[in-house]
Amino acid sequence: MLQVAFIRENTEAVLKGLEKRNLKNAADLVTKTIAADESRRAIQTELDAVLAESNKLSKDIGQLFKSGERSKAEILKKKTVLLKDKSKDLTESLQNKAMELQELLYLIPNIPNEIVPAGTSEEDNLNILQEGEIPVLHEGALPHWELAKKYDIIDFELGNKITGAGFPVYKGKGAKLQRALINYFLDKNNEGGYNEVQVPHLVNEASGFGTGQLPDKEGQMYHDAQDNLYLIPTAEVPVTNIYRDVILKEGDFPILNTAYTPCFRREAGSYGAHVRGLNRLHQFDKVEIVRIEHPTKSYQALDSMVDHVKGILKELNLPFRILRLCGGDIGFTAALTYDFEVFSTAQDRWLEVSSVSNFEAFQANRLKLRFKNNEGKSELAHTLNGSSLALPRILAGLLENCQTPEGIKIPIVLVPYCGFELIN
């Protein structure tokens, strides 16, 4: 969430940033936000004056009683009753205006970093790196959903029977490969300095607001209405919320965490061949990395995260590319995002497997995540997160790119984790 003081003092820059996001009602939102803030501050000023007058009268009444001027004191007491009623009304108005302001601020996305390219959709994302050789497959090569059926390692129909579409059942070597990937990703993250944590898979409303998943404008979160809890769409939510309402010391930075969780997304409106098989699921496994950084170090940290994910994909020997997302494709809370995509040879398309983002102070402002600098002043920290990695499309890419006439060859780095070299 942007700070209202920043919006007020940098209105033109905010509007310019929101223009890069193609936010059509940006000017209206910003105008309403500034007006709500001005109104809130005016009410606060009036309330402060009423309370100050009331306090002065209370002292005067005490002095009058001491000096025996009871009648004058009684007159002032009547004034304090009126002031008390007025302060009550002003307090209620202030609370309502503060809530109105907060709701407006929740609707304003983060300002993109200056290097974010302009654009309206994923077609305008900037390809900044491509590595790895795209394999030439043998005649009769299959997409991963056909391979899953051929080798009986993932059962989409069984998942549909148990729950519904988008909830596959992993079987035999498919389940072992899935577990191997999770353990491999966690080990690589541990080696990279990330501290492993296990977190809840449901979060409360405050956690959802803290990282920007709420308000859920696109209806993508599964919600338990009875307990008002949300199934997590990513481990970013519970891991980052570990630091909600926390004041850090400057010496605490950097803070690096990693977590494996299942993730749950409704993916409303997702249809067609491009979401077939593992390409888009309602429940999927993902290993996440999350960093809390000093504001002066967050972009250096972002580069480090990108290099970390790049190293894992190289070890898996998967052809990949890195995209810098344009203003029209970047997430609501992010200031800068890099997407990693692996090439799915059998589908002849790129599949997103990771997003690595710097949110700057946007989430920290919602979370009230601050630190005391060396001068003793309070500042907002910066938060970052990245997939390291999301499993479904990594698995799809591995199955398709590693297929041979004899079976699916397991990448060398995964063999110690899964205990076999070939799925056949």
Binding site feature residues for ATP = 265-267, 352-355
Annotated binding site: 234, 265-267, 288, 352-355, 385
Binding residues for L-serine: 234, 265, 288, 385
Residues ≥6 apart with Cβ < 8 Å to 190: 196, 258
